[in-house]
Amino acid sequence: MKLEVKTLRYLTSDDFRVLTAVEMGSKNHEIVPVHLIIQTANIRHGNVQRCIAELARRNLVAKECTSKYDGYRLTYGGYDYLALRALSKRGTVVSVGNQIGVGKESDIHVVADADGHERVLKIHRLGRTSFRTVKNNRDYLQGRHTASWMYLSRLSATKEVAFMRVLKEHGFPVPIPYDHNRHCVVMEFVDAFPLRQITEVAQPGKLYAELMDLIVRLAQSGLIHGDFNEFNILIKESGVPTLIDFPQMVSTSHANAEFYFNRDVECIRTYFRRRYRYESALYPKFTRDATREFSLDVKVSASGFNRKQLKELDEYYAERGEIAEGEGSEDEDEESSDDQEEEDGTESETGSEEQTTSDDEEGKTKPPTATPTTMSVPLVDELVTIDKAVGALTISD
Ligand code: ADP
Ligand code: MG
């Protein structure tokens, strides 16, 4: 899904009013009736039609006809626009550069803030139609209006940012969260490479111990990452790991906590065995009664979430996981990491992200080489400035 930043420049404040009206209307309507858009936008009738046509032309809204009425729904593009506009008003994102990652459920861009600092923009895209589970997802999403892609993506971003804040405050190696709006998170750009791309580690035992220690410290704080794999661990040139990707984190009080904890541990053990030929008899085991040092899970829950929301997101991730597991091995790139290692040594892809580098193929079939891993910084070759002067309406978040 392409982020059309340039669009931001061309919309008038009336266009924006109409777009906002569609967003507001979609809280109660799957397809927002035209009369409701006209009523909410509160601008001249004739103008509304013109604005809608313009928004539809730019793919920010899409026309849908039901048996009862004609209406519009907000597209991902429209939602992106609204979020970016809010972020640009606050100066946390004023230009958008290269896309540096495409996860199954997010797009990652390098962006710049008003002071020219490089940041990462993570756009959450839950329930997007590009992966094979589309049918199941549609069925799932259609059943409940509140579980629409917009709602889930926003919830996922909100949850991620809440976890990042708490983790950062407690000294965990995670990116600094700077801002958040709707389904978008602005965070520190970590100048590092995913462990997946590191072909050789000088002291695998040391890194292994550090990562296991991280899993244990999280659990002692009441948390389990839930997707602790080689794609979500970034390694700086100094060798220091940074953990990313938090929407699926669960509390150690979760009913399946032990399963998630063991899966995280197993993921690292498997990866180190395959990739670095490193194996250790030492690995942490989950004990439900372990004394906690903090209760960060409780702290996060207290920061603007209700149980129902967390449960909904939880269900989504659990359901997605089950669907992926049930799909068989041909769907390798799209599976979330699991604990079923191929004992015959076939190296199937089990990470949860789509691959973004071509040298991955090579790396996974060869034993580690003696050559150091090349590290290159993602270059921002196209900076698109967001025009902050567009429109005069303020978005209330
Ligand atoms: P997803 O939920 O789709 O897996 P992630 O948060 O794991 O999304 O990000 C996907 C990829 O984008 C990561 O594997 C990493 O390469 C890159 N990335 C994400 N966040 C950052 C960051 N803060 N700094 C640098 N790279 C990042
Ligand atoms: Mg990830």
Task: Give the confidence band of 5 by pLDDT, cuts at 50, 70, 90.
Answer: low
Instruction: Give the 3-state secondary structure of the chain.
Output: CCCCCCHHHHCCHHHHHHHHHHHHHCCCCCCEEHHHHHHHHCCCHHHHHHHHHHHHHCCCEEEEECCCCEEEEECHHHHHHHHHHHHHHCCCCCEEEEEEEEECCEEEEEEECCCCCEEEEEEECCCCCCCCCHHHHHHHHHHCHHHCHHHHHHHHHHHHHHHHHHHHHCCCCCCCEEEEECCEEEEECCCEEEHHHCCCCCCHHHHHHHHHHHHHHHHHCCEECCCCCCCCEEEECCCCEEECCCCCCEECCCCCHHHHHHHHHHHHHHHHHHHHCCCCCCCCCCCCCCCCCCCHHHHHHCCCCCHHHHHHHHHHHHHHHHHHHHCCHHHHHHCCCCCCCCCCCCCCCCCCECCCCCHHHHHHHCCCCCCCCCCCCCCCCCCEECCCCCCCCCCCC
CA of 193 relative to ligand 2 center, distance in Å: 12
Cα dihedral value 170, 246, 164, 153, nearest 10: -160
Average pLDDT over residues 11-20: 92
Tell the residue number behind the tokens 């989504």, with chain if given.
316
* pLDDT at 303 (0 to 100): 64
Which burial class, exposed, middle or buried, applies to 65 when counting CB atoms under 10 A from its CB (0-12, 13-18, 19+)?
exposed
Quick one: tokens of 303?
């920061």
Is it the case that residue 135 has pLDDT exceeding 70? no
* pLDDT at 314 (0 to 100): 81
Whether ligand 1 lies within 6 angstroms of the CB of 103 is answered as: yes
CA of 325 relative to ligand 2 center, distance in Å: 17
CATH class name, domain 5-78: mainly alpha
Pocket test for ligand 1, best of 98, 105, 108 (most atoms within 8 A of CB): 108
CATH class name, domain 193-294+328-366: mainly alpha
Q: What are the boundaries of each domain within the chain?
A: 5-78, 91-190+374-387, 193-294+328-366
CA of 125 relative to ligand 2 center, distance in Å: 12
Is it the case that residue 263 has pLDDT exceeding 60? yes
CATH 3.30.200.20 is held by the domain 91-190+374-387: yes
Read off φ and ψ for residue 224, nearest 5 degrees.
Answer: -125, 130
Tell the residue number behind the tokens 């982020």, with chain if given.
3
Nearest residue (CA) to ligand 1, atom 17: 101
Nearest residue (CA) to ligand 1, atom 23: 189
Asked whether the domain spanning 193-294+328-366 has the same topology as the one spanning 91-190+374-387, the reply is: no
- The atom number, within ligand 1, closest to the CA of 356 reads 16
Helices 45-57 + 13-25 axis angle, to 10: 80
Bridge partners (DSSP) listed for residue 62? 73
Whether ligand 1 lies within 6 angstroms of the CB of 175 is answered as: yes
Known catalytic residues are 227
Task: Give the confidence band of 127 by pLDDT, cuts at 50, 70, 90.
Answer: confident
The most confident of the ranges 82-96, 123-137, 343-357 is: 82-96
Tell the residue number behind the tokens 């069925």, with chain if given.
139
Average pLDDT over residues 266-270: 97
Whether ligand 1 lies within 6 angstroms of the CB of 232 is answered as: yes
- The atom number, within ligand 1, closest to the CA of 191 reads 25
Instruction: Mention every residue, 6+ apart, whose C-beta is less than 8 A from residue 335.
Output: 324, 325, 327, 349, 350, 352
Tell the residue number behind the tokens 């997707």, with chain if given.
227
Q: Which residue has the higher pLDDT, 281 or 389?
A: 281
Residue (of 206, 208, 176, 169) closest to 190 by Cα position: 176
Average pLDDT over residues 292-300: 76
Q: What number of other Cβ atoms are within 10 A of residue 237's Cβ?
A: 10
Is it the case that residue 23 has pLDDT exceeding 90? yes
Whether ligand 1 lies within 6 angstroms of the CB of 187 is answered as: yes
Is it the case that residue 265 has pLDDT exceeding 90? yes
Q: Are 353 and 230 in contact (CB under 8 A)?
A: no
Whether ligand 1 lies within 6 angstroms of the CB of 124 is answered as: no
* pLDDT at 45 (0 to 100): 82
- The atom number, within ligand 1, closest to the CA of 193 reads 16
Task: Give Cα separations from 220 to 73, 163, 211, 215 (angstroms).
Answer: 44, 15, 14, 9
Task: Give the confidence band of 312 by pLDDT, cuts at 50, 70, 90.
Answer: confident
Nearest residue (CA) to ligand 1, atom 12: 101
Helices 149-169 + 307-326 axis angle, to 10: 110
Q: What is the pLDDT of residues 337-368, one digit of tens each?
A: 333 333 333 333 333 333 333 333 333 333 33
Tell the residue number behind the tokens 């070759």, with chain if given.
381
* pLDDT at 157 (0 to 100): 95
Task: Give the confidence band of 35 by pLDDT, cuts at 50, 70, 90.
Answer: very high
Is it the case that residue 138 has pLDDT exceeding 70? no
Q: How far is 89 from 388, CA to CA, in rounded Å?
A: 6
Q: What is the pLDDT of residues 332-343, one digit of tens each?
A: 343 333 333 333
Q: What percent of the chain has pLDDT over 70?
A: 72
Ligand nearest to C-alpha 377: 1
* pLDDT at 339 (0 to 100): 37
Q: What is the pLDDT of residues 372-390, one digit of tens each?
A: 222 222 222 233 333 322 2
Whether ligand 1 lies within 6 angstroms of the CB of 77 is answered as: no
Whether ligand 1 lies within 6 angstroms of the CB of 244 is answered as: yes
CA of 244 relative to ligand 1 center, distance in Å: 7
Ligand nearest to C-alpha 101: 1
- The atom number, within ligand 1, closest to the CA of 189 reads 24
Is it the case that residue 280 has pLDDT exceeding 80? yes
Cα dihedral value 218, 245, 226, 157, nearest 10: 100
Task: Give the confidence band of 113 by pLDDT, cuts at 50, 70, 90.
Answer: very high
- The atom number, within ligand 1, closest to the CA of 196 reads 14
Whether ligand 1 lies within 6 angstroms of the CB of 390 is answered as: no
Is it the case that residue 182 has pLDDT exceeding 90? yes
